[in-house]
Amino acid sequence: MKKYHIYLTSEERKLIIESLISEKNTLISTGKYTDCVDDVLLKILQAKKKKVKVIYT
């Protein structure tokens, strides 16, 4: 399996977390399993934060 690295701003990270929580709540209200959303949410929350210098040319 190939690994990918995604660099997100704090705003993008917050938006992804909010979207995943919303999707999880929707799945719970319809009585479906939330395992896959839980896995992705856990990976996002446990991901290391790294400062990257961006140079605009």
CA atoms of 39 and 24, how far apart (whole Å): 11
* The pLDDT of residue 50: 81
The predicted pLDDT at position 51 comes to: 81
Could you tell me which of 8, 6, 2, 44 has the C-alpha nearest to residue 23?
44
Please tell me the predicted confidence (pLDDT) of residue 16. 96
Does the model's pTM come out above 0.75? yes
Q: So where are the chain's domains? A: 1-29
Mean pLDDT in order along the chain per 10 residues (57 residues): 86 95 97 95 90 83
